[in-house]
Structure 1
Amino acid sequence: MARPLSRRTLFQAAALTATATAVSAAATGRAAATGRAAAPGAPAAASGVPAAWTVRPFQASDVTLGPGVFADKQRLMLDHARGYDVHRLLQVFRANAGLSTGGAVAPGGWEGLDGEANGNLRGHYTGHFLTMLAQAYFGTGEQLFADRIDTVVGALTEVREALRRGPRVLSVEGRFGRAAENVRGSHQYADLPSAVLGAAPALTLSTWVRPAHDAAWARIFDFGDDTTRYLYLAARNADGVPRFAVTTSGPGGEQGLDGTAPLPLGEWSHLAVTLADGTGTLYVNGTSVARSTGITLTPAALGPLAHHWLGRSHFPADPVFAGAFEDVNVFSRALTAAEIGALQSRRAADTPAGRGDLASYAFDETSGGTFADGSGRGLDATLRRTWGAPSHPGFLAAYPETQFIELESMTRSDYTRVWAPYYTAHKILRGLLDAHLATGDERALDLASGMCDWMYARLSALPAATLQRMWGLFSSGEFGGIAEAVCDLHAVTGRAEHLALARLFDLDRLIDACAANTDVLDGLHANQHIPIFTGLVRLHDETGEERYLTAAKNFWRMVVPHRMYAIGGTSSGEFWKARGVIAGTIGDTTAETCCAYNMLKLSRTLFFHEQDPAYMDYYERALYNQVLGSKRDAPDAEKPLVTYFIGLTPGHVRDYTPKQGTTCCEGTGMESATKYQDSVYFAKADGSALYVNLYSASRLTWAEKGVTVTQTTRYPQEQGSTLTVGGGPASFTLLLRVPSWATGGFRVTVNGRAVPGDPAPGSYFAVSRTWRAGDTVRISVPFRLRVERALDDPGLQALFLGPVNLVARAPGPDAVRFGLYGRAALSGDLLPALTPVPDKPLHYTLDGIELAPFSEGTEDPTHAYFRRREPRVVFGGSDSGVANPSRDDGTTLLDEIWAGAPFAGKGALVARVRSTVDAWVSAGLLGRADGDRVVRTAREATYVS
């Protein structure tokens, strides 16, 4: 039996079972990484999950996968979770906080400053990875995963503290001693007092620098008021070489000096500029590389200036200097060439020139946030961030808070400026919450709670109209499933402001439309909106507001089947098109993988409220096809190898390393592959019944009942499954899902005896008894080959054998064309048209083309849809010689005949042929003589049953 649960662990259980990452370890309250505890059994904790749920999931650690395709794919992802260097994920967080990145290289793609939209989504992938690690720990108990969680959470704790306290010196080895480094992405610079230049008639700027990036226009010095009056020294201009310029009339009036070669990255270089008597000279490593007698402007000519910066530009679009500084000196005279030459081997203090008399910074500091001035003028510099300090101590991100601030004033989408900051916050929050629930690490909970406190402080201060405008912006205003995550956190903390925060993400016009069952999805970004509805279901759980649940149910039915491709995916180019348009939206960028992930999550959550078998029919479709097929069948420590889009155009080849990696879909793909077991079994809230939703090799430990259920199957290679009960005795009803496609029969035996009843496709079949150890339930669910027609083009079809979408492996760009009726069985099964491939289960050939399961993660060109081609009327392999006529809507004579299947016998089929032919003859669609030949051929043909 489950151990008694405290209030804290009940809150945890609520959040755990509310998500795909239900976990046994959370209920123990143990410290991080101290070992794995026994599971308490989720359904037992009835008061620890939402009262609205009539069905409860099991914790992930209660269900383990057996041998089969799911275990094989999961094993590949677990190896990735073990092997990937998590310090690479942390690089962007540490950089943002001005901490040492330890030489780690950001993952690239969307995680890094050089990715799409300047890396404005960076940090999201770390959240996905944390969730994957948590799920991996839930499912395996392997200490390595807990240790990796501990590393990430510990680092993020340090990052938040660094963001709170402000910039601190990052001391590194320099040219002569110590130096100060500004990590790329830290947005840090040194702010010098305003008296630095004074009214000097002459000037020398001297510094050692070690650039870390080749960005143009990053400033070393920038002294000025704005973008009109200034002087600067840039490490690289647009041509990649150093540039000095001074002006009192903006860029057009610059008097400048340009170098002749780029400064090498990662190496120390000495730069110096001298100005005196109208002459300016630029030196690189002691050599004069540019000289001009037209530099008439001096500090005295500029007059008093407002800002004196090291590493920051007055032009907002320019990057902050990334790299290290050492021995910065400002002189009120022009040093000689010999004096500058002496600076190549010694610090200024040890040369005849001495330290700068206007300002001098050795950068020997190893702590604190200031740099001491050695000029004797007391002009100590202060280390600052361009974006200042967080608005709330709970702030945690891998980029500045400016992303969130700018969103509040945006009136149109521009993801190059602001790219879904609350979406990124959601991923980090979700990962932290899952980490806490997996390991009991209170630091993770504190970080998650702090993030919500910070978001509440920001968002609660905004007018409602501002929030509605923000959330309605494409991409920039995307917030993912943050309402769900905040509700799950509220279940742990019980804090009212956290629930209030979740409601601040209401997008009222969408909720109201869907609650009224008004379809407004045409033109909306699909994955921006799907997770909103999972959040609405959780808000219903927390508030009791029916509008939320009604909107979510109606929304689901607007997608399924009206915007669903055969594999279970949705979206075209990330967007939805008009209701019912399937063939008309197919392209290379259909079926974004994130959409399938979130539709599964929504289907699962809705099932907890309403046990409509359609939710689990959809779940099986998308899981066994798109989700499985989105993971490549190959090991890789560096990449998860998951698709972004799955193109459904003829001959499409799946791309398992999209957009240079680290996309949202690779993130959700990591999560999917570590929670394949999460919906195999559910229990009624009162413990009276066990739902078997999926036929998947697995073992359930139902602690509340004191039983185990072991499911042994090779499904879908095997057309059925065997359940064996361990433990007991225990009384409950076994509810076995009868798939909607199971028109060929569904039979159940218990201990070899047939269970009476007539299981209807698209239902659950109940078997009630007191179960004892050794009881065996055998489920037989014969597969039939069938086609599914595109809603807007019946001639475009997908081929299914049971739950499996069979794809044609052939090059494009033209669709393959198949005929299937010629050997159809009396049952309506089209399988006799196919030839099995020996020793390759679920592989067939048709007209010389191989057919294989969509779930196989290969790089073969595939056709998920084909063109139906039935040019003549053929029965049982006998050709009538009559062309197959069609109606205006594309329905053919054979379509209408076989729509009557299954047939009890040959006579029933012939009767259907005769009545259909008579109707078509009467309608003028078929000649009488041809009709008679059709009937005669049907009567004389031989059929399989």
Structure 2
Amino acid sequence: MALRARDGGGRGMRASAARALPLGSVQLTGGEFDRRRAVNRDYLLSLTTANLLQNHDLEAGFWDRSWQLQPSSDDPATRGVGRHAGWEFPTGQLRGHFVGHWLSAAAREAAVTGDAVLSARVGEVLDGLERCQAANGGEWVFGIPPRYLDLLAAGREVWAPQYTMHKTFMGLVDVARDLGDPRAVRIAQRAAQWVARWSATFAPEQWDDILDVETGGMLEVWADLLDLTGDGMFADLLHRYDHRRLFDPLLAGEDVLTNRHANTTIPEVLGAARAYEVTGEERWAEIVRAYWRCAVTDRGTFCTGGQTSGEIWTPPHAFAARRGDKTQEHCTVYNMIRLADVLYRWDGDSAYLDYIERNLHNGILAQQHPGTGMVTYFLPLHPGARKAWGSPLEDFWCCHGTLVQAHTRHSALAFYAQDDALVLAQYLPARVEVPHAGGTLRVQLAGSETAARVGPDANGGDAGARHRPDSWGFSLTVESPPGAVATVRLRRPDWCDGDPVVVGEDGRDADVVTGPGGHLELTHRGGRAVYEITLPMRLHTLAIPDEPGTVAFARGPVVLAGLVDHDVRLHGDAQRPDTLLAADNERQWTQWLSGYRTVGQERSIRFLPLSEIVDQPYTVYFPLHPD
């Protein structure tokens, strides 16, 4: 029997805080996000320990180790062999930043999946960093020289040395937190002693000038290390890195972001979030909420859920003139997802989960090459755009680093705990096991997050619907000890066209009401049951706020891109997108495909999800002329 969700209080019900689940308790079980994770894991392993440490070895004086490396090559047969180039080249001012990203990504992948090979590689890199730190006198452990900090203090041009240092700190913190390796904390503490002495030598005005130059997530590192060690040195550093020139006007309600470099400020606010979680000081939380209002609520986003053009925040709701070849920097997508995760855990409002979903599909997936696993630094949104892919060894942009981290964290976004309930936050094929009522609660979501399947074998059985369903369907298996009642909260997506439908097993009613934070609340009475979830969806348009006659098309959370290399005006009604686009090449074997084509236009244009575009020219926004 199909049971539509009953109103148990509505979206306006106050939600309680949510909690992240222990690493390893949630596993992806197939689907596109899991496939991209696996591609990313293979890339992490392809990079040799010697190459990762090349700049740290050079700085520590191990010339023979680093300069024996051969020049880098993108030949698949020698992938990972040879000196790293691009931003990691030994003359680059950000050299050494990537090893921190690698440590964070490898540690998380190993912690979630139990990957012993990656865990061992993390140990090798820690051995190398410890060796470099000892050779440098016992504190300095970075791939750049201390001289860069002197240049920074003198006001001379130097490319963000504290940003680079932060990446090494971040990698050490994540290894300590995710894998529990005590060496990582020791290395970080020794390195922090150098920073503590250096930073204490400046007068307040000069120190404020230094903080105005990109510090990365140094504030977050100090909060993390304070949490891990209780060392008062980190409390002092936390106070010292309070960037009041940014935070105070933000708290006063000023727009401090328009035309400001976005990914300079987001990590600082993530640092404020950790400072609140570690110290409980309310001001830090107020900074985080003020930033979200300024960056998202009062500013809006592109149709993708992302923001920025040329790495800077756009003016509020003014995007028409900001579409170009440098729209939506990947770093901002990744870090704003992290910020939304923080706020969901604090407030329990499912709107943050909707934000994460849109950015996962139209940012994290759309900006990773499905074959090579490489990143496109930007996601261009101008007519006739093309994605410019990075390479395994020749680039190592900042976005290259956030890419490898992003694809190790999907499972952490799939489920949360809230009160005594389990929250299904993202509709990704995954399973979770958590203690419950003297036993174990097991929940598994099956289906496809990109294209619906029919099965188990449509060649030999039921072929399913005649045409692609206007819905997203999943099977949810819930198992708890007999008689042990369990509550599972299901996110009701903001794109859902009508009430979600939950079908109980064997004709039994699914006990569902609308619960806190806009979630659907499913009560499971114990034992094992399978529930079928149907999320109705429709093709819809997303207009540019300051050019409402120009729209993008989306199906559910997925933005569609037209395969056309120039600006094209379509004729039709934005409120009736089903009269403009029709299903195209919709089915193969047991799988529904996701293409569309225009109808009633002078020229036919094919559309695909933006995440499926690889090398084709594409256009996302189309001006509409009413008929």
Q: State the TM bucket, normalised to the shorter chain.
A: 0.7 to 0.9
| 3-state SS in 2 of match to 1:492 | helix
Matches of residues 47-196 of structure 1 in structure 2 within 5 Å? Answer: 54-99=17-62, 100-102=64-66, 103-104=68-69, 105-114=82-91, 119-164=92-137
Amino acid in structure 1 at the alignment position of 2:355: Y
The 1-side partners of 2:312 and 2:95 are apart by 23
Alignment of 1:699 onto 2:431: yes
Alpha carbons 1:97, 1:159 under 8 Å: kept: yes
Q: 1:712 aligns with which of 446, 455, 461?
A: 446
In terms of fraction of residues, the more helix-rich structure is 2
The 1-side partners of 2:510 and 2:207 are apart by 56
The 2-side partners of 1:599 and 1:698 are apart by 23
Alpha carbons 2:302, 2:319 under 8 Å: kept: yes
Tell me the equivalent position of 1:728: 481
* CA shift for structure 1 position 755: 4.2
Q: 1:524 aligns with which of 252, 260, 264?
A: 260
Unpaired segments ≥5 residues, structure 2: 1-15, 70-81, 453-471
Amino acid in structure 2 at the alignment position of 1:520: V
The 2-side partners of 1:610 and 1:147 are apart by 38
Alpha carbons 1:743, 1:761 under 8 Å: kept: no
Tell me the equivalent position of 1:860: 616
* CA shift for structure 1 position 789: 0.7
Tell me the equivalent position of 1:408: 153
Matches of residues 623-638 of structure 1 in structure 2 within 5 Å? Answer: 623-635=360-372
Matches of residues 185-584 of structure 1 in structure 2 within 5 Å? Answer: 393-410=138-155, 417-472=157-212, 477-560=213-296, 562-584=299-321
| 3-state SS in 1 of match to 2:365 | helix
Indicate how the Cα distance of structure 1 residues 717 and 407 shifts in structure 2: closer, same or farther if over 3 A, else same.
same
Alignment of 1:622 onto 2:359: yes
The 1-side partners of 2:350 and 2:163 are apart by 31
| 3-state SS in 1 of match to 2:354 | helix
The 2-side partners of 1:465 and 1:804 are apart by 47
Alpha carbons 1:590, 1:645 under 8 Å: kept: yes
Alpha carbons 1:784, 1:831 under 8 Å: kept: no
Q: 1:690 aligns with which of 417, 422, 442?
A: 422
Tell me the equivalent position of 1:612: 349
| 3-state SS in 1 of match to 2:142 | coil
Alpha carbons 2:251, 2:286 under 8 Å: kept: yes
* CA shift for structure 1 position 571: 1.1
Alignment of 1:849 onto 2:581: no
The 1-side partners of 2:318 and 2:580 are apart by 31
Task: Please identify the structure whose Cα radius of gyration is greater.
Answer: 1
Matches of residues 741-780 of structure 1 in structure 2 within 5 Å? Answer: 741-751=495-505, 752-755=507-510, 763-770=518-525, 772-780=526-534
Alpha carbons 2:100, 2:170 under 8 Å: kept: yes
Identity %: 29
* CA shift for structure 1 position 725: 1.6
* CA shift for structure 1 position 753: 3.8
* CA shift for structure 1 position 555: 1.4
Unpaired segments ≥5 residues, structure 1: 1-52, 165-392, 873-945
Q: Deviations over 1:629-677 (max 9, x none)?
A: 1110113xxxx51111111111111111179410110100011112111
The 1-side partners of 2:515 and 2:248 are apart by 35
The 1-side partners of 2:348 and 2:374 are apart by 34
| 3-state SS in 1 of match to 2:443 | strand
Alpha carbons 1:582, 1:790 under 8 Å: kept: yes
* CA shift for structure 1 position 756: 6.6
Indicate how the Cα distance of structure 1 residues 727 and 704 shifts in structure 2: closer, same or farther if over 3 A, else same.
closer
| 3-state SS in 2 of match to 1:708 | strand
Question: TM-score w.r.t. structure 2 length?
Answer: 0.86
Indicate how the Cα distance of structure 1 residues 833 and 485 shifts in structure 2: closer, same or farther if over 3 A, else same.
same
The 1-side partners of 2:161 and 2:579 are apart by 50
Tell me the equivalent position of 1:680: 414
| 3-state SS in 2 of match to 1:679 | helix
The 1-side partners of 2:572 and 2:515 are apart by 26
Tell me the equivalent position of 1:798: 552
Alpha carbons 2:305, 2:359 under 8 Å: kept: yes
* CA shift for structure 1 position 769: 4.2
* CA shift for structure 1 position 711: 0.7
* CA shift for structure 1 position 720: 2.5
* CA shift for structure 1 position 575: 1.0
Aligned residues: 566
The 2-side partners of 1:811 and 1:754 are apart by 51
Tell me the equivalent position of 1:330: none
* CA shift for structure 1 position 750: 3.5
* CA shift for structure 1 position 558: 2.1
* CA shift for structure 1 position 758: 7.3
The 2-side partners of 1:440 and 1:690 are apart by 26
* CA shift for structure 1 position 485: 2.5
The 1-side partners of 2:286 and 2:46 are apart by 44
Tell me the equivalent position of 2:378: 645
| Greater relative CO, 1 or 2 (CA 8 Å, sep 6+) | 2
The 1-side partners of 2:200 and 2:330 are apart by 33
Alpha carbons 1:76, 1:634 under 8 Å: kept: yes
Alpha carbons 1:586, 1:648 under 8 Å: kept: yes
The 1-side partners of 2:515 and 2:130 are apart by 54
Amino acid in structure 2 at the alignment position of 1:399: I
Amino acid in structure 2 at the alignment position of 1:606: L
Amino acid in structure 2 at the alignment position of 1:776: V
| 3-state SS in 1 of match to 2:411 | coil
The 1-side partners of 2:579 and 2:475 are apart by 25
The 1-side partners of 2:356 and 2:291 are apart by 16
| 3-state SS in 2 of match to 1:683 | strand
Cα RMSD after superposing both structures: 2.3
Amino acid in structure 1 at the alignment position of 2:594: L
Amino acid in structure 1 at the alignment position of 2:237: L
Tell me the equivalent position of 2:563: 809
The 1-side partners of 2:127 and 2:581 are apart by 60
The 2-side partners of 1:756 and 1:789 are apart by 38
Q: Deviations over 1:304-331 (max 9, x none)?
A: xxxxxxxxxxxxxxxxxxxxxxxxxxxx
Q: Deviations over 1:891-915 (max 9, x none)?
A: xxxxxxxxxxxxxxxxxxxxxxxxx
Tell me the equivalent position of 1:243: none
* CA shift for structure 1 position 93: 0.7
Amino acid in structure 2 at the alignment position of 1:715: E
* CA shift for structure 1 position 465: 2.0
* CA shift for structure 1 position 499: 2.5
Q: Deviations over 1:566-610 (max 9, x none)?
A: 112211111123211111211101100000000000000111111
The 2-side partners of 1:541 and 1:530 are apart by 17
* CA shift for structure 1 position 831: 6.7
